[in-house]
């Protein structure tokens, strides 16, 4: 019980750090562009504590620590709305460029946090590289029965290029008992072997298991002048991998059951903290990168959706009609809520909640 509480608290702290950095990006950009910030909140719901600074911003900590927000004065109003007295510092009175800069600053700060943390990891701990080369085989496991050998490099699963070790683990876990075509490089030749995945009960639900261990290579710590450009490169590579993974889910090439929501993220954050400082830093970096990248998607309700509106306004010379924006925002809200519900169900299933509920009925 105490370990579970510790995991949840650690996960909430990690999640809170990433959200705080995102909202701080919006806040600082708003101050730079002369926009009044009415509220800076960590969490949602009833306010636990609050204070007001000298420029009139109310800082608050709320009961539900599952995100946060910055409330900009005049954000809800259209740029062509009638001006009111004292609105010179309102968001809707600023130029398209200023509004776009304030909006994009949140994701940009997430990217900067990722780069900084990757640079810290590379300069302090080096770069541990888990290679998709088989370093061990479980006796009579799925891989061993199928003829995979030590030293084989896994290149594809069911014909799709793998993105990382985590990608292999996620795809295998999502298909317990399935027959998966595993492509490997062996002595310079590519082979494709059908592997019937094992079934393993974990936290009350079944997951697939390949029965292999991967080789891990520890790199030497890099000097700072090398760690910084390497961190930029690693951030770029991770962005490309994430986008490819999302596309494979959207196009049906892999199961959407791999999507995690807030509960799953908090659970994984707590586990990462348990594994030590390097693991915790790496997870915060990846979580920050995810938040920044996803927020740039051109979906109304997200930062990317607002940037799309501002782009249309800049091209047309006027904001989109209130009706058009209203329909777009309703669609965006519906999509975000649907994804939230779907990912939450995935999280609860992954944690074995449904199995526990049905097992205790009656």
Residues paired with 213 in a beta bridge: 136
Helix boundaries (H) for the chain: 2-32, 96-124, 142-146, 165-173, 224-250, 262-274, 277-295, 303-316, 322-350, 353-359
d(CA 67, CA 282): 20
- Closest residue by Cα to residue 118 from 221, 272, 264, 14: 221
Active site residue 23: yes
41 contacts 69 by C-beta, under 8 angstroms: yes
What is the SS3 assignment for 256? helix
DSSP string covering 39-86: EEEEEEEEEEEEEE-TTSPEEEEEEEEEEEEEEETTTTS-TTSPP-TT
* Residue environment code for 201-227, b if the CB has 16+ CB neighbours within 10 A, otherwise e: eeebbebbbbbbebbeeeeeebeeeeb
Q: Residue 313 is encoded by which pair of tokens?
A: 């306004």
Residue of 23, 129, 192, 206 with catalytic role: 23
DSSP code, position 68: E
Q: Residue 173 is encoded by which pair of tokens?
A: 């876990």
d(CA 246, CA 256): 9
Instruction: Please compute, for residue 239, the number of CA atoms within 13 A of its CA located in the half-sphere on the CB side.
Output: 20
- Closest residue by Cα to residue 154 from 129, 186, 176, 128: 186
DSSP code, position 223: P
Catalytic residue list: 23
């Amino acid at each position: 019980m105490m370990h579970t509480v510790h995991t949840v608290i650690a996960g909430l702290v990690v999640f809170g750090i990433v959200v705080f950095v995102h909202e701080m990006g919006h806040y600082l950009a708003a101050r730079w562009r002369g926009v009044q910030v009415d509220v800076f909140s960590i969490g949602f719901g009833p306010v636990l504590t609050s204070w007001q600074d000298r420029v009139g911003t109310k800082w608050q900590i709320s009961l539900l620590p599952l995100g946060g927000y910055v409330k900009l004065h005049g954000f809800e109003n259209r740029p062509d709305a009638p001006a009111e007295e004292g609105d010179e510092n309102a968001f809707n009175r600023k130029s398209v460029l200023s509004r776009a800069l304030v909006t994009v600053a949140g994701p940009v700060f997430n990217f900067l946090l990722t780069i900084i943390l990757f640079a810290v990891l590379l300069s302090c701990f080096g770069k541990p590289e888990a290679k998709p080369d088989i370093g061990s085989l479980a006796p009579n496991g799925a891989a061993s029965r199928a003829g995979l050998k030590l030293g084989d490099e896994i290149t594809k699963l069911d014909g799709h290029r793998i993105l990382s070790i985590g990608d292999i683990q996620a795809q295998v876990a999502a298909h317990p008992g399935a027959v998966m075509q595993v492509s490997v490089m062996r002595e310079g030749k590519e082979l494709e072997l059908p592997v019937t995945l094992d079934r393993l009960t974990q936290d009350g639900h079944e997951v697939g298991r390949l029965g292999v261990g991967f080789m891990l290579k520890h790199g030497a710590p890099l000097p700072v002048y090398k760690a910084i450009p390497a961190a930029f490169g690693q951030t770029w590579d991770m962005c490309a991998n994430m986008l490819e993974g999302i596309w494979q889910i959207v196009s049906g090439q892999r199961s959407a059951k791999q999507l995690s929501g807030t509960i799953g993220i908090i659970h994984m954050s707590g586990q990462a903290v348990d594994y030590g400082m390097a693991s915790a830093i790496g997870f915060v970096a990846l979580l920050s990168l995810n938040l920044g990248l996803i927020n740039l998607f051109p979906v109304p309700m997200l930062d990317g959706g607002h940037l799309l509106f501002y782009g249309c306004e800049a091209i047309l010379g006027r904001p989109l009609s209130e009706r058009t924006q209203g329909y777009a925002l309703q669609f965006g809200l519906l999509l975000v809520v649907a994804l939230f519900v779907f990912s939450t169900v995935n999280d609860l299933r992954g944690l074995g909640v449904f199995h526990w509920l049905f097992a205790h009925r009656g």
